[in-house]
Chain A
Amino acid sequence: MPLWKIAWRSIQHRAVASALTAFSMALGVALVVAVLVIYHVLDRSFRRSSQGYDMIVGPAKGSPLEIVLSTVYYLQAPRGTIPYEIYEELSHGRFATEVAAAIPVCIGGSYAGFPVVGTVPELFEEFRYLGDRPYEFEPGGRNFSPDAPFEAVIGATVARRAGLRVGDTFRVTHGLAEQGGHEHPDEFTIVGVLKPTGTPNDRALFVNIEGFWKLHQHDARHGKASEEEESVNPMDGDGDEATSETEAHDENHRELTAVLVKRDWTNSAKALALPMQVSKEPGVQSVIPTEEVAKLFEGLLGNIQTILLIFAVLIVVVAGIGLMVSIYNSMNERKLEIAIMRALGAKRSTVMAVILLESILLSLGGGAIGVLLGHGLIGAFSGVILEETGVRVSALSFQTVELILVPGLIILASVVGYLPALVAYRTDVAKAIASGV
């Protein structure tokens, strides 16, 4: 009979204690798995979200990270505006030879709490998301037309949560309604709903930039510009943003909050130098989104992951100590069993191995349950995570790093199983048989 089977029978014989011990191990491992998977999925999603374009030109005011957070993730309001001319220089001016695609972006206003982005239809044609996936529309939908200023396309989450469909109309709220924001009278008509992308774009409404400007020209004609300065962006009621957005849609002074750029790498030296060249222009700075996201992850989120991992590993270690206590406490009543095995010819090292195997089986069994539990939890909350963050996670998002759990748990089980195994090793056979315990 193989030794693992002897160990397994022993585990079965103490089913309740074994199940509780394995469960505590499972909880610890589930936490480790959840931390690892969520961090890696976030990391990948954040990095991929910014890969459709490899450079952003934004206002000189504020930090590069702020430009990325506002332009890529819509997590805060833009800190200022840039002249429309910089877009012209990038698309067909001085910098055009190093640029494969340039898309103007003007972020401001909201609908049902979701940000409204003024842009051009090429955004969904020139760029890919999550690596190399093209944007697609739900059946019956299409991209908005460059010639129809009040057409719009909306993200999948917006459509679901706000109950909007193709053909519906919406009005852009300038600022938060509860903070005194007001609705623009002009209505946008939805002509397309994007299929879910798992990117922040699921949670935004995209309107023709011409219509976006017209809204504000209309406001300006009705003397509302001054009011807008009090409440502009739903994500940030800061006066700076108010000013910048108001400037952005001045009739004779079109401005943008950013330009998304895909560089042309035919001449890689020039493409590499482009950010520095563009940053020399007055009032603008160039940002490489991947670099900023990497800095964010390595500088801040990396530390958070380390702290979470330390806590999760500590929980596993505590579960390991629980395992040791459980097996150690059972050793008293098992001395006779060990003595019988010895009397049947088992060596000291053999009974020691049986106890170590029992510890390893419990750890790995608990660990396996923990992996399933961790991924199950991720799967169960994937909808909430997608809704709240725009990041798509799946119960099947396995990470290579999870494989470390196998040798890790074996080592932990061997260490914590050593003490009870030593008790087995030292059992006095004659004494145990004579005393019958």
Chain B
Amino acid sequence: MVFPQDESPLLVLRDVRKSFQEPDGGELPILDIPEFTVEAGEQVVIVGESGCGKTTLLHIIAGISRPDEGQVRINGWDITLLSEAECDRFRAENIGYVFQTFNLLPAFTALENVLLGMTFGRGKPDVARAKHLLERVGLAHRMHHKPRQLSVGEQQRVSVARALANRPKLILADEPTANVDSGNQQAVLDLLREGCREENVALILVTHSPEVARQFPRIVRLPDINLVLTRK
């Protein structure tokens, strides 16, 4: 276990490189980020074309994928130095994730899906908080419905509540409005941003939508921080 080194910023990526292996055995560089930082409670949008490494970047920040090189420091902890189990625990307690395709577990109700977001951390699942979050996203009357009984907009709202459930320091949202109908896109976005603001959670949202991007105070174009794309 590595001990925290400093207080801020919340997220620091330094000299992070990631490549994938191609079928012919060669290496395909995806990311080469000299530095990228996010302050606590900050809301950042990352834009870029499809396939430019946005999702890979989120996976590395979440500890789902490991970079080939570099540091990923969150709240002072370099998660690249944590064991896999430690990294899982760290993610459970510090990071919320909103997927493009919602990814609610079909066997569970909306309430249980939110509780699942608290299950793998240190504390006990807080049913009252889970209910409060669902009320907060306007689903008080749909708590005991399964995902197939919810509209796509409702599913994504459950997903937002789940991401906030474990009181994370950072929420990673991967194209959260891409699969939501136009009528619900803004509502989901507002809920996500307001929820983060209320709980002082930093938000990194990835999108290729200019309409979504322009609502954020800080817009990061991935080609500006990713040398792989600059070199192209």
Contact = CB atoms under 8 A, between A and B. Distances in A.
A and B physically associate: yes
Given A346-B88, A429-B64, A430-B59, A340 B120 contact: no
A1 interface: yes
Contacts of B32: none
B112 A9 contact: yes
Interface residues of A, number: 24
Nearest to B163: A344
Contacts of B119: 1, 6, 344, 346
Contacts of A436: 101
B226 to A, nearest CB: 18
A342 interface: yes
A342 B88 contact: yes
A12 B64 contact: no
A336 B103 contact: yes
Given A345-B92, A430-B64, A1 B103 contact: no
Contacts of A349: 85
Contact of B89 (A341, A343, A345, A429): A345
A347 B84 CA distance: 8
Contacts of B118: 1
A331 to B, nearest CB: 15
Contact of A340 (B59, B88, B105): B105
B62 interface: yes
A118 B215 CA distance: 106
A9 B64 CA distance: 25
Contacts of B166: 345
A17 to B, nearest CB: 13
B107 A340 contact: no
B205 interface: no
A344 B92 contact: yes
B62 A347 contact: no
A288 B159 CA distance: 77
Contact of B92 (A13, A337, A346, A433): A346
A434 interface: yes
Interface of A: 1, 6, 9-10, 12-13, 336-337, 340-350, 429-430, 433-434, 436
The 5 tightest CB contacts between A and B, nearest first, are A345-B92, A13-B107, A345-B120, A9-B107, A347-B88
